[in-house]
Each structure stands twice: as C-alpha cells, then as structure tokens.
Amino acid sequence: MIISPSNSNVFSPVRVADDEIERVDVFQLLGVYINRPLKWDEHVRSICNKAASRIHFLKQLKRSSVGPYDLFHLL
C-alpha cells in the first residue's frame, strides 16, 4: 500500500531485491485495519462483526442454561 498526499493512482511498481511487492487496498497492522484512503470503514466493520459473533455466542449459551458466572468467564 502506498500512502501519499497525492490523489494520483499512478505509481511505479515497488521492488525489493528484484521482487515486486504486492499492492493491496487494505491491510491489518497491530489489530487495526488500514485502507488506502485512511478511512475507518473496514476497521469498524471488523469490530461490529466480532461483537455480533460474541453476542450470538452468548445467546446460544444462555439458551443452553449456562449460568451468569460461566457466561462472564467465557468471554
């Protein structure tokens, strides 16, 4: 990913030791998703999906009559 103040999308390929580096639009660094226009969309989407997954997991456990103490420690 090339982060530049320029709005131009025309950049020459980046090479290291005769190997061209793959260009991506989004990558994850230390748990934070970074995209080319430096917006938070992808990171927020990731956090919302993770939260929805955990809430679904808690609902399934509660329906299975798992006690509140156990629910607290499973997260």
- Sequence-ordered list of residues with C-beta below 8 angstroms from that of 23, at least 6 positions apart, any chain: 1, 2, 13, 14
Comparing CA positions, the residue from 30, 31, 34 lying closest to residue 1 is 34
DSSP three-state, residue 20: strand
Model pLDDT for residues 23-72, shown as the tens digit of each residue: 888 888 898 998 878 888 999 999 999 999 988 988 888 888 888 787 77
Token pair for 54: 């955990």
Looking at residue 35, the DSSP 8-state letter turns out to be E
Q: What is the pLDDT of residue 4?
A: 64
Q: What is the pLDDT of residue 23?
A: 81
Model pTM greater than 0.85?
no
Q: What is the pLDDT of residue 7?
A: 63
DSSP three-state, residue 19: strand
Q: What is the pLDDT of residue 1?
A: 67
Does residue 8 surpass a pLDDT of 70? no
